Amino acid sequence: MNKRLTLTMVIAAGLAVSACAKKAPQVLPPDPGPPSQTETTVSNAPVPGSQADFAAQMMGQDTIYFETDRFNIDATDQAALAAQAQWLMKYPTKRLTVEGHADERGTREYNLALGERRANAAKNYLVSLGVETGRITTVSYGKERPVALGSDEESWARNRRAVTVTID
Amino acid sequence: MKKIIPFLLAAVLPASALLAQSAAPAPAAAPPEVEEDVVGSLDNDAKIAIPAFATNADVPTQTSAGSTSTLGFSVANVIFADLRNNGLFQPTGPSSLPRPALAQVQAPDYGSWQSRGVDMLVQGYVRAESSGNITVGCYLYDVALGQQRVKAGWTVAPGDWRRAAHKCADLVYSNLSGENPFFDSRVAYIAETGPKDRRMKRLAIMDSDGANHTFLTTGQTIALTPRYSPDYKSIMYLSYTNGQPRIYIIDPQTKAQRLLLSTNNPLFAPRWSPDGRWVLYSMATGGNTDIYKIPSAGGTPIKLTDAPGIDIGGSFSPDGSKIVFESDRSGSQQVYVMNADGTGQRRISFFGGRAATPEWSPRGDQIAFTHIVGNLRIAVMDPAGGSLRYLTDSWQDEAPTWAPNGRVVQFFRTAKTSGKTSLWQVDLTGRNERRLETPVDGSDPAWGPLRP
Amino acid sequence: MRRALSREEAFGLGLAALGHVALAWVLVMAKPSAPPPPIDRVSVTLSDEMGAVSTSPNPKSDPMADKGPELGEPAPVEEAAPPPQPQAQPQPKPQPAPQPRVAAVPPPKPAPVPAPKTAPAKPQQQTKAAPKAVPATKTPAKAGASSFDQLFAKGIPGGSSKGRDQTSAASQASAQQVASWSSSINSRVRGPWNSCPVNGLDVNKLRASVRFTLDPNGRVQSIEDFDVTGVTEANRAQVKPFKDCAVRAIRLAAPFAGLPPEFHDQWKNRRLNFRKE
């Protein structure tokens, strides 16, 4: 009987106190503003340091292109790889794979080796820009995974590529 | 004047008498030999008849072909399809011919076949043994001459009844053509389905005529460039099972697989030596690809090439002493030959364009390859790089593989834009180009040797 | 003013008039001269195939039977009268040259090589049937035979009923006859040669030269010699089937009917050069 009374008085006191606590502040907190990018329930923005972030940031420069049977890194390729390296430096634990590809207008096994050669050329350039070599693996898909589906010069040019893919 | 005329006559008359005498019959010289040319056509029209095989008793069998009576019909049909597809003959099959009785198999009714205009006749019988095995007897007759040319028989397990039919077709083919047989053999290839940018590729095997087809992988990862071992007990192929291209050896019976060798480098282009004791593979290090040799049972790899660039592939000569391979060390893909120990490397393709995927014929006298001048075409040359001949002329044909007798070639054709692939066959004279029937699209065919 | 004729002028005028009258009389009254006698017709053989040996018939032989001329395309020289014993037919000889040459010298049908898909089947069937010459479809009746020809086919009534020289009096066969025998043998061999399959790389380079002899009945007596040339690494395996097909073709084409036994010596030794292209 005494315990129940005490409990009721404590609760009543707590309620009174909490009621007091809720006072309209004199200074309003600042407006929260637009929803921040990190709130995934609200927006589709990639997490910084993810592959999606990398692809979005690169805006196409995650892929470099080659001439027929060639694997050299030209000026455009150098700029793209520099952009890649810059991102990669921000996330030094991020591993990545460079995929090498070839167009359909060649024989299968040679194209596998050629894709490997292109991937390796891109990797070497990234390493020369400071990306640690242990982070990079290469894989060749030869002519097995085209992105452009036509049988014309434009499609073939788009398929002769090395694509950098970070590993989440 | 008047005196001269009689004198002239007197002189001429004896001369003409002499002439007459020299023209008299019974010449002293030997009877003359008369020579003539007989010119025939290579488009020969030899008519060969293959009626249904007879049987001593129509009993059920454990084969897929039903009772011995139906089996006799099916055996003849397999032989008929082999010879028709080969293009050397104009065969007529069991569906269009009367069925001989068993007694006629060894004593043909020549007159009746002659009246049908038949030149050669294939007859035979099938017999079910108490063990369940099947015995097939095969007889080839020259109808015009009225005599037997050759005969043979085989006893096979019921599941191998088609092999007995291929053996009979091989007997007929080699007896008439002088060539070695090739019908009793198997082919490994890659079965393809799906969209062009995400093809599903599965390892598959079948008989040389497309029968007994089996898928060996699920297609979850890319499978490429298979090769049957010479004893048919294994198939080497390229797989991306762990995300990287590696060479696996699979047992076609159990489907158990093992790695050829463990490495951190990508591997391509597995090859067997003709005796099965060696394996060639190509490995890329730092972007540079070279050809290695390793005992098929395992052991220390031997590096065969080290030129900067891509050296890849490799095909042994039938005696195992030389290897033909492709290399871009000159600046573009070309064909090279070296000794089996890697010495004596020299280029043999000087045709312009690029030359790739060289394969040494099992007969040793030809090298098949892909010639790239804009389009990709199947071509052959002699081992010194001369006598270039094209076998096909299409947008993209590549990767020739030889029949066991070195007289027929299979390859795969890619269609422009759609990228759909199909298996094709053509003989060494460039004739009889025909598409092979496969359940879905197909590429990378690899023809195994003649089965013993 | 009219001048009178002088005496000389009058005389001359009269003479001239007389001359004109005489001329006119001669012209009118002259008889036409008898027509020139007809030129004897002699048949001429326009041939550039000059045999070194005279093959013309004996001029002293009895004349031919007085039969009507045989119009229309003559039967080929090798086709005998139906009885199986063939005899040389002297009848085509007196005829103008071009006809027997057309029949004998060029190889008879089937000349276009890819064409005869069905033709070779026929000679094979006929080898087992009664032996016939190759253009077996030709009947003895001549194409252009007229009723006149048929009336006199048996000869002029009252004329000599038969020439006594039925067989050629020539002692040696003409070049035309020899050529006709060769083309006959050749065409019979070509059918079975075509239907014997040999194929492969460089088969078109193979040449098989087969020497054989025939007996007087046209049967193969022996096959004596065999020479195969054009062998390369690529076609070596086809040499045996090539030879076998050549021998088979000769055996199936024999016996060769229509070869005159009296000239056996001149056609018994033969050499055939086989190829496929």
Give the Å distances, CA to CA, from B78 to B161, B204, C7, C47. Answer: 10, 21, 129, 61
Q: What is the pLDDT of residue C43?
A: 59
Compare A5 and C78 and report the one with higher pLDDT: A5
Q: What is the pLDDT of residue A27?
A: 58
CA distance B363 to C265: 48
Q: What is the full DSSP assignment across A9-30?
A: HHHHHHHHHHHHH----SSPPP
Q: What is the pLDDT of residue C225?
A: 73
Residue B182 near residue B208, CB atoms below 8 Å? yes
Interval C76-92: pLDDT, tens:
444 333 443 434 444 43
Interval B199-244: pLDDT, tens:
999 999 999 999 999 999 999 999 999 999 999 999 999 999 989 9
CA distance B198 to B419: 11
Element (H, E) at A138: strand A136-142
CATH 2.120.10.30-classified regions of chain B: 186-447
Q: What is the CATH architecture of B18-177?
A: 3-Layer(aba) Sandwich (3.40)
What does chain B come to in residues? 452
CA distance C56 to C173: 10
CA distance B117 to chain C (A): 6
Question: If contacts are CB pairs under 8 Å, which of residues 393-432 in chain B contact chain C?
Answer: 407, 428-429
Give the Å distances, CA to CA, from C44 to B173, C69, C96, C176. Answer: 59, 17, 7, 16
Q: What is the pLDDT of residue A9?
A: 65
Chains C and A touch (3+ CB pairs under 8 A): no
Asked if B37's CB is within 8 angstroms of C270's CB, the reply is no
DSSP state letter for B393:
-
> For residue B285, which of B302, B312, B267 has the smallest C-alpha distance?
B267
Question: B267-293 burial string, b = 16+ CB within 10 Å, else e?
Answer: bbbbbbbbebebbbbbbbeebbbbbbb
Percent of chain A with pLDDT over 70: 74
Question: If contacts are CB pairs under 8 Å, which of residues 121-140 in chain B contact chain A?
Answer: none
| Beta-strand relationship, B421-427 and B434-435 | antiparallel
pLDDT at residue C152 tops 80: no
Region C114-127: what's the mean pLDDT?
A: 39
CA distance A126 to B115: 81
Q: What is the pLDDT of residue B296?
A: 94
SS3 B3: coil
DSSP state letter for B94:
G
- C contact test, residue of B21, B22, B36 with most C CBs within 10 A: B36
Q: Provide the pLDDT confidence category of residue A41 given band limits of 50, 70 and 90.
A: low
Compare C233 and B72 and report the one with higher pLDDT: B72
CA distance C133 to C80: 8
Specify burial of residue C267 (Cβ count, 10 A radius: 0-12, 13-18, 19+). buried
Interval A60-78: pLDDT, tens:
999 999 999 999 999 999 9
Q: What is the pLDDT of residue C181?
A: 84
Q: Provide the pLDDT confidence category of residue C199 given band limits of 50, 70 and 90.
A: confident
| Closest chain C residue to the Cα of B46, Cα to Cα | C195
Spell out which residues of chain B touch residue C248, defining contact as CB-CB under 8 Å: 142, 144-145
Q: What is the pLDDT of residue B123?
A: 98
CA distance C104 to C184: 9
Residue A142 near residue A101, CB atoms below 8 Å? yes
Q: Which residues contact A29 (CB under 8 A, 6 or more apart)?
A: none
> For residue B82, which of B8, B184, B199, B193 has the smallest C-alpha distance?
B184
Compare C256 and A82 and report the one with higher pLDDT: A82
pLDDT at residue C207 tops 70: yes
Q: What is the pLDDT along chain B (452 residues), one digit of tens a residue?
A: 555 555 555 555 554 545 544 444 544 567 788 888 998 888 767 899 999 999 999 999 999 989 999 999 999 999 999 999 887 788 999 999 999 999 999 999 999 999 999 999 999 999 999 999 999 999 999 999 999 999 999 999 999 999 999 999 999 999 999 999 999 999 999 999 999 999 999 999 999 999 999 999 999 999 999 999 999 999 999 999 989 999 999 999 999 999 999 999 999 999 999 999 999 999 999 989 999 999 999 899 999 999 999 999 999 999 999 999 999 999 999 999 999 999 999 999 999 999 999 999 999 999 999 999 999 999 999 999 999 999 999 999 999 999 999 999 999 999 999 999 999 999 999 988 999 999 999 999 999 999 99
CATH 3.40.50.10070-classified regions of chain B: 18-177
Asked whether the CA dihedral A132, A136, A142, A147 is positive or negative, the reply is negative
CA distance C163 to C36: 32
Give the Å distances, CA to CA, from B197 to A60, A104, B193, B201, B407. Answer: 19, 11, 11, 12, 36
* CB of C138 less than 8 A from some CB of B: no
Spell out which residues of chain B touch residue A139, defining contact as CB-CB under 8 Å: 243-245, 266
CATH number of B186-447: 2.120.10.30
Q: What is the pLDDT of residue B302?
A: 98
Q: What is the CATH architecture of A47-167?
A: 2-Layer Sandwich (3.30)
Region C161-167: what's the mean pLDDT?
A: 48
> For residue B222, which of B243, B201, B247, B203 has the smallest C-alpha distance?
B201
| Beta-strand relationship, B33-40 and C269-276 | parallel
- A contact test, residue of B281, B282, B289 with most A CBs within 10 A: B289
Q: Provide the pLDDT confidence category of residue C60 given band limits of 50, 70 and 90.
A: low
Spell out which residues of chain A touch residue B286, defining contact as CB-CB under 8 Å: 120
Q: What is the pLDDT of residue B62?
A: 93
Spell out which residues of chain A touch residue B197, defining contact as CB-CB under 8 Å: 145-147, 149
